[in-house]
Amino acid sequence: MPITNFPKISGIAKNNIKITINEKKLRKTLSARGVMQPDILDLSTSKTKKKGLLATVATVFSTGIGATIKKHFQNSALNKIDKRFDALQQDLPRVKDTFQDVFMRKDIDTKETSAMLERYRDIEKLRVTGTKDDYIKALFKEAKKNFGFGDIDIPLHIDDVIDNSEKCAGSTKDLMNQGIHIKRNRTNMSHMNVIHHELRHEKQNYIAFNYDKEEYVKTAIKSVYKEAKSNKDDFLYDTVKNISFEQYYDDMQDAAKNDIYLIEKMYGKADKSKLSEKDCEFARKCLKAKESRVSGKVNYKAYKNNFLEKDAFHAGDTIDKLLG
């Protein structure tokens, strides 16, 4: 039997739907129609009971008028995305310059810029119509391609947020074969921002590795050593607390060789000759910054002012401002 006598729904305008719910009337209506048992309807100050009612309302509104309302908001969001990307297609020179900057690729021309915009348009629509994981995976795949990594299988790990006080929205390991972590429900940065931020770190690592693979792995190991030595909670703290970096690095020689092997297996042989002079200059800055890098948990200001982070924040913020 269809449920009638629903709460008043008023103010349906072009871009706005206002729902006025009379709580007592809603309880009475749902109970009378057999949707809710009378004992569930006792709304006291109990958060559990209130959540139970809201869950039931959500179930009822998932069909019929609720589905219509949902469809209205979806269509409104999709229309806004189309308008935004239609405007970007009319501004291709500026978009091309932005893509070249963010992805560090001067080979991107106007034709490819237009094609990239259309793919991003489809992905942004998936944010409205699909699941969050579908959106993250599609966005990661597109950004990975645009950074020049093509079909390279960079591991993507989608993690739940466990500690809401944790500022981290994503992470990239210094040793590239370990992949990239993205927080599913983090709200301090958009996924558009954080995915491009983390893949910019991957680009930094890739260029620095091709410039000098031994020095790259050495600085990566030194970064691990420094962070462990400054943090008593680090699982390596007891190992490094009483030894110098030189001693630690000597002990890590087999691991360093294995890291180089794994990275080259994934990305191909390191080759400095394929880097431009500008790339080489960038690589030197990256290697120097790795030497002085500190964890955001230890000193957030110093962490954010490090060249590696400033560069990655620039990439993420820039693409987010353009497309997000």
Give the pLDDT of residue 98.
Answer: 98
Strand 9-10 relative to strand 18-19, pairing: antiparallel
Give the pLDDT of residue 287.
Answer: 94
3-class SS of residue 3? coil
Counting other chains too, the contacts that 91-99 makes at CB distance below 8 Å and 24 or more residues apart are 95/322, 98/318, 98/319, 98/322, 99/146
Give the pLDDT of residue 294.
Answer: 77
Residues 82, 80: Cα–Cα separation, whole Å: 5
pLDDT along the chain (324 residues), means of 10: 40 40 47 39 38 56 67 87 97 98 97 98 95 95 95 86 49 62 79 94 94 92 83 84 90 88 88 95 95 78 91 96 92
CB 300 within 8 A of CB 213: no
The region that residue 109 occupies, defined by phi over 0 for left and psi between -120 and 50 for alpha, beta otherwise, is: beta
Give the pLDDT of residue 73.
Answer: 81
Provide the whole-model pTM: 0.74
Which helix (H) or strand (E) covers residue 293, if one does? none
